[in-house]
Chains A and B, each alone.
Chain A
Amino acid sequence: MTKILKRSNAPIFWGLFGAGGMLSALFVPMMVFITGIAIPLGFLLPAGTMSYPKMLAFAQNFIGKGFIFAIISLSLWFAAHRVYHSLHEFGIHAGTGAKLLCYGIALAGTVVSASVLLRIGF
């Protein structure tokens, strides 16, 4: 075979996709439950669980900060990758445009969360 093979850059996106998929599979359901259902309804968790000081402290904590960042950014990369693939699957071959849009949003989300978390300080 003399066909010239071009190396795919997919590993980067695929790696982010895999990490995001795994992380969100492990934690997102419980997070949705906590922030979107239990807290608003005052159900199960003590009142004030997510009060400003507590959350600020959490976000300033090294581990807390890392966790929030990882969940947000990686999940976005995961979703972007899947959506990009699904577009292809629906026969929308927008090519680079779709790619830029999908991964662009993920990148933007990553940058925003990183900058906010950094600004919050340690």
Chain B
Amino acid sequence: MSEQKIIEIEVLRYNPETDQEPHLELFKVPFTDDMSVLQGAQYIKDNFDGSLTFRWSCRMAICGSCGMMINGIPKLSCETFLRDYYPNRIRIEAMSNFPIEKDLVVDLSGFIEKLESIKPYIIPREPRTLEQGEYIQSPEEFNKYIQFTSCINCTLCYAACPQVGLNPDFIGPGAMALLHRYNMDSRDGGAAQRMELVASEEGVYNCSAVAYCSEVCPKHVDPASAVNINKANAAKDYFLRFLSPKGGSK
């Protein structure tokens, strides 16, 4: 084992049953170079205070549970390493723009509702039976949507987007990326059905192209582009209504 160093970790604590508001608490954590911020938090929970509360599971940046603000920046704590902050103090807080339930755990119910509202499933363009085998998808068709399938629902982009903080009803970058993923899939024909939401008051026009969402996205989904491309789509849909009785959704 390499030499043990001690790093100072400041944690934003909040216990709804005893606290009026969150406060910072300092822990001194021994660490090795391979330790992530998540492992730092686990160390605290195992050794100092079992009541420290946070979500985690996979430790490999794929389940999307462990997002938090690390020195003010939304990051996955399992792929952020303590060594990169040492010898400075590191501050971890619950993700911005979400209500805090307890310590680092935020209320995600709003996000889940948004996710459910976008019809995130194939609405078949052409039905196909299992006996007919798979749909054929050319590399070009595949490349159109594959990037937007990488979203792990970590909501870091929500923690990054000030418009989400200012208007909690805004459908937000992550859900829009997923919506766009289905719209762009050659198997799907549901774009018109999803347009209602895209073009609604909760929809894409809440976005002012801050683009920080794409900056923090750990999976390079580029949700900002999904949101913004859909502004153009929604605008087209808006004006097309006037041109043809069939064009556009209601």
Contacts and interface: CB of A to CB of B under 8 A. Distances in A.
Whether chain A touches chain B in the assembled complex (some CB pair under 8 Å): yes
Interface of A: 1, 3, 5-8, 10-12, 14-15, 82, 85, 88-89, 91
B200 A8 contact: yes
Interface of B: 113, 116-117, 162, 166, 196-197, 199-203, 205, 208, 231, 234-235, 238-239, 250
A8 B205 contact: yes
B234 A11 contact: yes
Classify the interface of chain A: helix, strand, loop or mixed: helix
Given A14-B235, A88-B166, A3 B201 contact: no
A75 to B, nearest CB: 18
Contact of B235 (A3, A11, A88, A89): A11
Contacts, number: 43
Contacts of A89: 162, 166, 208
7 contacts: A1-B116, A5-B196, A5-B201, A7-B201, A8-B203, A10-B205, A14-B235
A96 to B, nearest CB: 14
Contacts of B238: 7, 11-12
Contact of B201 (A8, A12, A88): A8
A81 B197 CA distance: 22
A11 B239 contact: yes
B202 to A, nearest CB: 7
A85 B209 CA distance: 11
A85 B206 CA distance: 9
Contact of A14 (B113, B166, B196, B231): B231
